[in-house]
């Protein structure tokens, strides 16, 4: 399924509130906050010339978020950043003065944080980030997970000392339950999706993601002509697309949102022209993208700056994981989790179809950016799908199902 953006707001400027959330000053603040984190380092940018050649494009770059803040995914940038911001704001309120990031570990700030509980629902990665942020600042965390979240992913969140709460049903059910219980208990909801009346905190989460774009623009030899980003609720796609619009204006790259065919809430929203909740079908292997309702703020941005939408099948996602693990032509090997390679799967789909290629203006001069949004965040699942363990990727003579 491929759709160019039919929305009347396509190419309209961002709403002022969104332009501020994703603007230059905000992105600079994110990087300043990151510089205070012990385990912060820019994630690598890989060039894949052999795959670019095979796809008939000029250059292909993969921003590899597997290395982000020790958590294995870009989500590490959003939830923990929002937690830190919220603690500093609350400390400012209680102490009656502005409190800077440099004071994060001061006893009076720690005392404020100790009285706060950060709550969220998660498919896995966002909860890890919120729990890590809460541990860092000395707050409590209550993380809600639905029935489909694997025990490995639950354990990876619980190691930060978070209280884990299992919820019947899907991701959307866990979002509702987290909001209900948090409101009852006076906890702070740090959600990566937004709904009517709840926009600011998901906006901060998205603001955290802008760091990837700033790093990329410093690392790449030239700005991209095309960007493909995968979507769950649309937050990361909107953050990347929105920041690129602010950075480049009318000269921004062509932006394509990639949705799993089995959970295509952004594509269906684009088709309807307004946010829609889609029916639950079979689960998708792209577990982190399994969302059935878009984020309100994300859609407001994507309706303006997304140029096209494309779906990918589960087989596409698994093929990409294998292709990245065992590259040809001297390209570097990359560990991509089930949802990590979905943006690249969208590019591969587009490049294989002459009509889509023409509609997007993809050709031998195109420089395409995709984001490996996660590494093997569930190593057992990774090994099942790729046939080798993550640690064997890039090791000579490693074989397996996809070899
Ligand atoms: C690895 C990975 N990729 C992509 C996404 C999609 O992000 P969003 O829900 O902001 O669209 C997620 C969301 O959890 C994720 O964990």
Q: Is 174 in the pocket of ligand 1 (CB under 6 A)?
A: no
**What confidence score (pLDDT) does residue 171 get?**
87
288 CA distance to ligand 1 middle (Å): 6
**Distance of alpha carbon 302 from alpha carbon 232, whole angstroms:** 13
| Residue 160 within a domain | yes
Q: Is 341 in the pocket of ligand 1 (CB under 6 A)?
A: no
96 CA distance to ligand 1 middle (Å): 37
Opening angle at CA 77, ends 370 and 100, nearest 5: 145
289 CA distance to ligand 1 middle (Å): 6
Residue bearing the CA closest to ligand 1, atom 3: 373
Q: Is 5 in the pocket of ligand 1 (CB under 6 A)?
A: no
| Residue 403 within a domain | no
What's the distance, Cα to Cα, between the start and end of the chain in Å? 29
Number of domains in the chain: 2
**Distance of alpha carbon 258 from alpha carbon 232, whole angstroms:** 9
| Residue 198 within a domain | no
| Residue 279 within a domain | yes
Q: Are residues 125 and 266 in the same domain?
A: no
**Distance of alpha carbon 312 from alpha carbon 305, whole angstroms:** 21
117-142 exposure pattern, b = at least 16 Cβ within 10 A, e = fewer: bbbbbbbbbbbbbbbbbbbbbbbbbb
* Residue ending a domain, choose from 128, 163, 191: 191
| Residue 228: partners with Cβ closer than 8 Å, 6 or more residues away | 256, 258, 310, 343, 344, 346, 347, 350, 368, 369, 370
Q: What is the set of active-site residues?
A: 75, 123
Q: Are residues 223 and 317 in the same domain?
A: yes
Q: Is 235 in the pocket of ligand 1 (CB under 6 A)?
A: yes
| Residue 196 within a domain | no
Q: Are residues 334 and 241 in the same domain?
A: yes
Q: Are residues 273 and 394 in the same domain?
A: yes
Residue/partner pairs of 108-116 with CB below 8 Å, 24 or more apart: 109/137, 110/137, 110/138, 112/87, 113/87, 113/137, 113/138, 113/139, 114/138, 114/139, 116/86, 116/87, 116/90, 116/140, 116/187, 116/188
Residue bearing the CA closest to ligand 1, atom 14: 288
Residue bearing the CA closest to ligand 1, atom 10: 235
* Residue ending a domain, choose from 162, 191, 220: 191
Q: Are residues 57 and 150 in the same domain?
A: no
Q: Are residues 17 and 85 in the same domain?
A: no
pLDDT per 10-residue tile (average), the chain, 403 residues: 97 98 98 94 98 98 96 96 98 97 96 98 94 97 94 94 94 92 97 95 98 97 97 98 97 98 97 95 93 96 98 98 97 98 98 98 98 96 97 76 45
**What confidence score (pLDDT) does residue 395 get?**
83
Domain that holds residue 132: 79-191
* Residue ending a domain, choose from 191, 222, 238: 191
Q: Is 316 in the pocket of ligand 1 (CB under 6 A)?
A: no
**What confidence score (pLDDT) does residue 170 get?**
86
Ligand 1 atom closest to 235 (CA): 10
185 CA distance to ligand 1 middle (Å): 27
Phi and psi torsions of 374, nearest 5°: -150, 150
Q: Is 343 in the pocket of ligand 1 (CB under 6 A)?
A: no
């Amino acid at each position: 399924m491929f759709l160019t953006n039919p929305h009347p707001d396509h190419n309209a400027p961002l709403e002022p509130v969104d332009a501020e959330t994703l603007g230059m000053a905000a992105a600079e603040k994110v990087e300043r906050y990151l510089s205070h984190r012990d385990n912060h380092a820019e994630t690598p940018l890989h060039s894949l010339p052999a795959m670019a050649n095979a796809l008939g494009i000029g250059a292909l770059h993969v921003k590899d978020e597997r290395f982000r803040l020790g958590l294995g995914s870009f989500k590490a940038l959003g939830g923990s950043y929002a937690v830190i911001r919220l603690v500093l704001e609350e400390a400012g309120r209680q102490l009656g003065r502005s409190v800077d990031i440099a004071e994060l570990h001061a006893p009076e700030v720690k005392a404020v944080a100790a009285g706060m509980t950060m709550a969220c629902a998660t498919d896995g990665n966002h909860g890890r980030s919120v729990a890590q942020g809460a541990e860092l600042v000395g707050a409590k965390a209550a993380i809600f997970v639905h029935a489909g979240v694997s025990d490995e992913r639950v354990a990876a969140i619980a190691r930060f000392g978070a209280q884990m709460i299992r919820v019947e049903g899907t991701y959307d059910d866990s979002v509702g339950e987290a909001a209900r219980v948090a409101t009852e208990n006076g906890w702070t909801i740090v959600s990566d999706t937004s709904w009517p009346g709840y926009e600011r905190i998901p906006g901060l989460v998205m603001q955290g993601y802008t760091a990837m774009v700033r790093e990329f623009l410093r690392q790449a030899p030239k700005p991209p002509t095309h960007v493909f980003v995968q979507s769950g609720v649309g937050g990361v796609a909107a953050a990347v697309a929105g920041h690129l619009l602010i950075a480049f204006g009318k000269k921004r790259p062509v932006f394509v949102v990639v949705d799993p065919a089995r959970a295509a809430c952004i594509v269906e929203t684009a088709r309807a022209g307004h946010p829609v909740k889609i029916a639950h079908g079979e689960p998708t292997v792209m577990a982190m993208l399994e969302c059935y309702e878009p984020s309100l703020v994300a859609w407001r941005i994507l309706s303006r700056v997304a140029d096209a939408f494309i779906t990918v099948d589960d087989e596409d996602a698994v093929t990409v994981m294998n292709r990245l693990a065992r590259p040809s032509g001297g390209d570097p090997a990359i560990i991509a989790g089930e949802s990590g390679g979905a943006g690249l799967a969208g590019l591969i789909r587009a490049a294989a179809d002459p009509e889509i290629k023409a509609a997007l203006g993809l050709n031998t001069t195109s420089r395409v950016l995709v984001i490996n949004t996660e590494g093997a965040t569930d190593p057992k699942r990774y090994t099942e799908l790729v046939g080798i363990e993550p640690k064997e990727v890039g090791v000579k003579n490693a074989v397996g199902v996809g070899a």
